[in-house]
């Protein structure tokens, strides 16, 4: 037990700092109208993300899991993942929308209270990716629910995802 605590207290800090110059890592695509500044200000201090897997191959989910580890630590920016779309401000959708998940995705969108942001993560979600035109797939996410931002990549690396999220909030400061 005490060896355990000793290891914890004397482990080195290996967190990755994000500075303004990391803006270039962001690969954000704005779709349609950008979110109003008023709403961005509301979410700048605290953003609750609900992650929806609409039939993806888990590559993007692995990168998202890496966001919560001690290197990237998305929580220090006030962003956290929640368990229910009712608690969420942003829906982060991954994967091409399969036919079975189309209805569920729509219900999740309706269950999220306004103001809300929808982000499509990964090439599969943006265009259908390698599953494009398959019989089991409805299509890109914006065929099912209105999407505000897209983050391309197959899958995008955690640093790209993190910088893109901060770009959505226009919140780049030395953290």
Partner 1 sequence: MFIFIKIIQILIIPVLSPLGIGLVRKIKAHFQNRKGASVFQPYRDLWKLFHKDEIISKDASWIFKIAPFIVFTVTLAVAVSIPIFSTVFSDFFVSDILYIVYLLSFGTFFLALAGLDSGSPFGGFGSSREMTLSALAEGGFIFSLLVLVLISKFTNLFAISGFIAASYGQFILPILLAFIGFFIVLLAETAHYPFDNPATHLELTMIHEAMILEYSGKRLALMEWASANKFLIFISLGANLFFPWGITGDGGFVSILVSLLIYLIKILFFYSVIAVVESSIAKFRFFRLPDLLVVAFILDIIAISLIK
Partner 2 sequence: MIEFITSFNGFVLLFLLLIIGATGSLVFRKHDSWANYWNSFFSIISSLWGLIFSVFVFIGSRNLFFSFKNPFFSIFNISFSVDSLAAFFIFVISLIALFCSIYGIGYLKHFYKKYDIGFFGFFYNLFIVGMLLVVTASNGIFFLIAWEIMSVCSYFLVVYDHHDINNVKAGFLYLVMTHIGTSFIIIAFLLLYKFTGSFEYESIRSASLFIPVYIKNLVFLSAFIGFGIKAGVIPFHIWLPSAHPAAPSHVSGLMSGVMIKVGIYMMIRFFLYLLQPIPAWWGLVLLIIGSISAVLGVLYALTEHDIKRLLAYHSIENIGIILLGLGGSLTFLSLGYPNLSLLSLTAALFHTINHAIFKSLLFLSAGSVINQTHTRNMEKYGGLIKYMPQTAIFFLIGSMAISALPPFNGFFSEWLTFQSLFQGIALLDYTAKWIFVISAGALAFTGGLALACFVKAFGLTFLARPRSKEVFLAKESSFSLRFGMGALAILSLLFGIFSGYVSSIIKKIGQDLGLTYNNFSFSNISFHQDLSINNFSFVSGSKVFVLLLGIFVVVWVIIRYIINKNQKITRGDTWDCGTNLKPRMEITATGFARSIITIFKKVLKPSIQQEIEYHDVDSRYLTKSRKVILTVSDIPQDYFYDPFAKIIVIFSRYVANIQSGNINTYILYIFITLLGLLFFVK
Euclidean distance between CA atoms 172 and 175, whole angstroms: 8
Stretch that binds partner 1, among 6-14, 95-103, 126-134, 160-168 (CB under 8 A): 6-14
Euclidean distance between CA atoms 54 and 61, whole angstroms: 11
Stated length of the chain: 175
Q: Evaluate whether 153 touches 127 at the Cβ level (below 8 Å).
A: no
Pairing, β 149-151 against β 29-30: antiparallel
For residue 59, how many other CB atoms are within 10 A of its CB?
A: 18
The least CB distance from residue 147 to partner 2, in Å, is: 18
Would you say 43 or 131 has its CB closer to partner 1?
Answer: 43
> Which of 3, 20, 24, 114 lies at the binding interface for partner 1 (CB under 8 A)?
114
Residues 85-104 that bind partner 1 (CB under 8 A): 86-87, 89
Closest CA to 161 of 125, 122, 128, 124: 122
The least CB distance from residue 70 to partner 1, in Å, is: 4
The least CB distance from residue 50 to partner 2, in Å, is: 11
Would you say 110 or 174 has its CB closer to partner 2?
Answer: 110
Residues 47-66 that bind partner 1 (CB under 8 A): 48
């Amino acid at each position: 037990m005490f060896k355990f605590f000793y290891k914890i207290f004397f482990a080195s800090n290996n967190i990755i700092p994000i500075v303004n110059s990391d803006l270039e890592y962001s690969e954000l695509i704005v779709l349609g109208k950008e979110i109003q500044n008023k709403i961005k200000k509301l979410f700048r201090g605290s953003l609750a993300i609900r992650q929806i897997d609409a039939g993806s191959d888990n590559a993007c989910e692995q990168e998202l899991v890496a966001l919560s580890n001690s290197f990237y630590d998305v929580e220090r920016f006030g962003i956290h993942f929640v368990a229910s779309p009712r608690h969420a401000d942003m829906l982060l959708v991954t994967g091409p929308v399969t036919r079975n998940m189309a209805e569920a995705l729509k219900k999740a969108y309706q269950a999220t209270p306004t103001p809300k942001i929808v982000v499509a993560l990964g090439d599969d979600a943006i265009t259908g990716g390698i599953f494009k035109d398959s019989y089991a797939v409805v299509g890109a996410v914006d065929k099912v629910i209105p999407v505000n931002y897209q983050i391309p990549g197959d899958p995008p690396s955690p640093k790209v995802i993190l910088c893109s999220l901060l770009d959505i909030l226009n919140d780049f400061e030395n953290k």
